[in-house]
Structure 1
Amino acid sequence: MNNRRSFFRRSAALGMGAFGFNSLFNQMHAADFARAEEYWNPASDNNEEYWKVIQDAYTASKSDIVILNNGGVSPSPLVVQEALDKYNRQAAQGPSYYMWRVMDKGREPLRQRLAKLAGCDAEEIAINRNATEALNTIIFGLPLQKGDEVVGTIQDYPNMIQAWKQREMRDGLVYKQLSFEFPIENDEQIVKAFEDAITPRTKILHVTHIINWVGQIMPVRKICRMAHAKGIEVVVDGAHTFGLLDYTIPELECDYFGTSLHKFLSAPVGSGMMWIKKDKIEKIWPLLCNSVPQGKDIRKFETLGTRSFCIEQAIGEAINFQEGIGNRRKQERVHFLKKYWAEQAQKIPGVKIHTSLKPEFSCAIAGVSVEGLKPEQVDSRLFKEYKIHTVGINWENIHAVRVTPHVYTKLSDLDRLLEGLEKIAKKA
């Protein structure tokens, strides 16, 4: 096994697939990205000439529809589409050979590069299909007993809520949910709410890094430090932060982490990643069968049977694209786009923003509502009258239209959104 892993590491260094000198990114975008750096002015807030090069690399930027629901799933840049097409065409020539004997050898180099992007040990990374699969693996794999308590919130993602409720029904856990009135611009208020919910039976805190409904950034590291001081572990849902915020997973100080790669990393739909702190891998049962279910090898979580190896390999080009921009630059740009439209929208009579505009409390996602109209009515009119795709949110105490730009979003797209909101508010 060690010799096998060494071979894969050497292969990555020598130029296998997306991580070699002949990667599609190098062929299609490297020169353009290099030229774009000439436009970059660190003293400027927007650098539109630079970002035009990035926008042009996405076919979605040329769509007749303005896509502002990147919080659901993000389009991939052309290079990722081309990579997926290339691998699919190759696999179609003989799936049992090309998938199992060729593409399967690309998983270890991919694991290495994902780990580099995440700032962690590659032996802590499992590659799967989405955040739901990653986090459900952790939730159902934790060796919890009847009466053990788990604390989450009603604003967590529904699939995680349902997973904990199933464990409550099946195993007799006690699942408690906090409720917050967002936006909140006070980390200590959030930390204290979790702390006040803890009892001697509490074993796990479940924290959503960015609340998907309205974009609130939760103070994960502060919550983790508080929890660890009490001997409690923390599961983090990072579906909306990986590839968007500039951080490494170890910096969060959590114990377990899951994310979708088809959101802000812009990898193919159906790609995800799970991280488990190395000393905790052994105790987590895999969701699907494995010959060594209580082993220490993170790969025990990847026995998914036949799935798309083509999707896995195309993730590599998404990583190349991400690194071509840079994490910090991307985070600042997307926050700028959110702030650009939301600051203007909140000045429109009858329009309300449900998200903080400060960068420490939100980034891409913001919620907006129009007085006198339901979220689904605003969402419908934006699409019907302006060809703007958003999503109406009615979840617990959150009622707003979720708007989520990405790096390919143009300022003119956001100007169209503002025009639409203003006219819709006048007619409400």
Structure 2
Amino acid sequence: MTTQTTPQRPPHLKTAPDDEAYWLAIRATMEPMYVNTQLVNTRRGAAPRLVRDRVRELVDLSLAYELDEYEPMRDLKESGSSLAIRQLLGDYFGADADEMALTRNAMEGIATVLNGVALKPGDEVLATRFCYDSNLAILRQRALREGIVLRFVELPFGIASDEAILAAFAAAITERTRLISFPHVVANTGLVMPVRQIAALARARGAFTLVDGAHSAGHIAFRLDELGCDAYATCLHKWMYGPRGTGFLHVRREKIADVWPLFASWSGKPADSIEKFEEVGTVFKALPASIPEAIAFNRGIGQAEKSARLRFLRDRWAGRLREHERIRLLTDIDADPGTGFGGFVIDGLEGEDFARTLREDFAINVRAFAMDEDPAMRGIHLSPGLPNTVEEVDRFVEATFAILARSHNSLMRAG
């Protein structure tokens, strides 16, 4: 007879990551909508019901009100921002409100900095092959237009130590390096970059650091004032489960004046004002006006609890798969901090074939990937989110083993 045990809650968490009854209740508040079991959540998260209801409540108001003295959203600027919203974001992420600018997505903040840091011909920008292609497109445009030089930091693909990563950055920086751009979390493998150490190294060598935080905000616990990077840009619709079309740009107070805004300030904001980055024209105010509900949702769960749950779901599948002789993990599941992301490769089976079979035969969605900058960097990616359940993850593991057994039998017959 099997004895059922009550999940034990780690002492620093108010809710255990394996308290399935609790997390099923959270799923019920999010009401995810997918046909196949969705185990890839890097593009967007399911906004909880209270955020969706708030957006719906504000839609007609946002489309119909007149700009007069009775404007119902008078506390929001034309950009949708307000001091109260910037303060909420600053409190959650560990920064002052006067270092936080509201944006419409991570790309807007990234484009602001990559285009806004003053560079001259011959100046070097360091990036990684793990940066999004859209980020690199901006730098390549500047290289064509202005004669700057884009160089890559050569980093290991998959598992890498902080020491190895830092050594690679140190070796790549030259006396011409002016800007360094890299992701906080590598999307395909879940590698967490040692931001604080890289930022300290860059500062000592006179370079500006921009961190792409699209996959760290709301995913892992951190404070911006401890990371020490000069700028950090992210969205709120992925791991913060906020309304799509919202994000923020953080710039350290003493560096704000060094970055030109994407749009020239028409209200005369001084060069050292974070609000100069918010003058982007009219936005749909129902979206930023719903940010307080998203913050409340995340605070109600707790960032530490969210992070622990996401890691628990990853470890549940990755811990079993790494024991299989044909599977090589691209993710160090013992690393701290870790994410809910994971990647792996299968010996003798293409990632696209595996993902297609998983979807068509088992109604489970994962993603086969190849890095844009180096297609040899290939694998299979999973990123379960808060709406995912233990049952879904376990079903994925069993389906994977079934596919591997089929593949083994086919190889044996072919041999």
Compute the TM-score of the two structures, normalised by the length of structure 1: 0.86
Partner of 1:204: 179
Residues 335, 363 of structure 1: 8 Å contact kept: yes
For 2:189, the aligned partner's letter is V
Shift of 1:100: 9.8
Residues 80, 318 of structure 1: 8 Å contact kept: yes
Structure 2 Cα separation of the partners of residues 376 and 100 of structure 1: 56
Residues 181, 211 of structure 2: 8 Å contact kept: yes
Shift of 1:300: 1.4
Partner of 1:74: 45
> 1:282–1:362: structure 2 CA closer, same or farther, 3 Å change rule?
same
Aligned residue for 2:163, secondary structure, equals: helix
> How many corresponding residue pairs?
389
Shift of 1:391: 1.9
Residues 90, 98 of structure 1: 8 Å contact kept: no
Partner of 1:413: 392
Of the three residues 21, 45, 49, the one matched with 2:21 is 49
Structure 2 Cα separation of the partners of residues 98 and 391 of structure 1: 49
Structure 2 Cα separation of the partners of residues 233 and 368 of structure 1: 33
Partner of 1:193: 168
For 1:419, the aligned partner's letter is E
> 1:325–1:361: structure 2 CA closer, same or farther, 3 Å change rule?
closer
Residues 240, 263 of structure 1: 8 Å contact kept: yes
> 1:103–1:220: structure 2 CA closer, same or farther, 3 Å change rule?
same
1:353-405 deviations in Å (ceiling 9; x for gaps): 21111242631111133333322222222222222222221112421121001
1:389-427 deviations in Å (ceiling 9; x for gaps): 222211124211210011221000101211221122222
Identity of aligned residues (%): 29
Partner of 2:79: none
Structure 2 Cα separation of the partners of residues 98 and 411 of structure 1: 52
Residues 368, 401 of structure 1: 8 Å contact kept: yes
Deviates more, 1:376-385 or 1:320-329: 376-385
Aligned residue for 2:185, secondary structure, equals: coil
Kindly indicate whether residue 281 of structure 2 is the aligned counterpart of residue 302 of structure 1: no
Residues 62, 284 of structure 2: 8 Å contact kept: no
Of the three residues 226, 249, 258, the one matched with 1:283 is 258
Structure 2 Cα separation of the partners of residues 416 and 208 of structure 1: 31
Compute the TM-score of the two structures, normalised by the length of structure 2: 0.88
Matches within 5 A, 1:18-167: 41-42=9-10, 46-60=18-32, 63-92=34-63, 94-97=64-67, 101-106=71-76, 107-167=82-142
Aligned residue for 1:309, secondary structure, equals: coil
Matches within 5 A, 1:11-22: none
Matches within 5 A, 1:355-370: 355-360=331-336, 362-370=338-346
Going by fraction, where is helix more abundant, 1 or 2? 1
> 1:99–1:282: structure 2 CA closer, same or farther, 3 Å change rule?
farther
Aligned residue for 1:147, secondary structure, equals: coil
> 1:100–1:415: structure 2 CA closer, same or farther, 3 Å change rule?
farther
For 1:409, the aligned partner's letter is N
Unaligned regions of 5+ residues in structure 2, if any? 1-6, 77-81, 408-415
CA RMSD of superposed structures (Å): 2.2
> 1:293–1:200: structure 2 CA closer, same or farther, 3 Å change rule?
farther
> 1:100–1:231: structure 2 CA closer, same or farther, 3 Å change rule?
farther
Shift of 1:53: 1.9
Shift of 1:347: 2.4
Residues 375, 401 of structure 1: 8 Å contact kept: yes
Residues 68, 389 of structure 1: 8 Å contact kept: yes
Shift of 1:140: 0.2
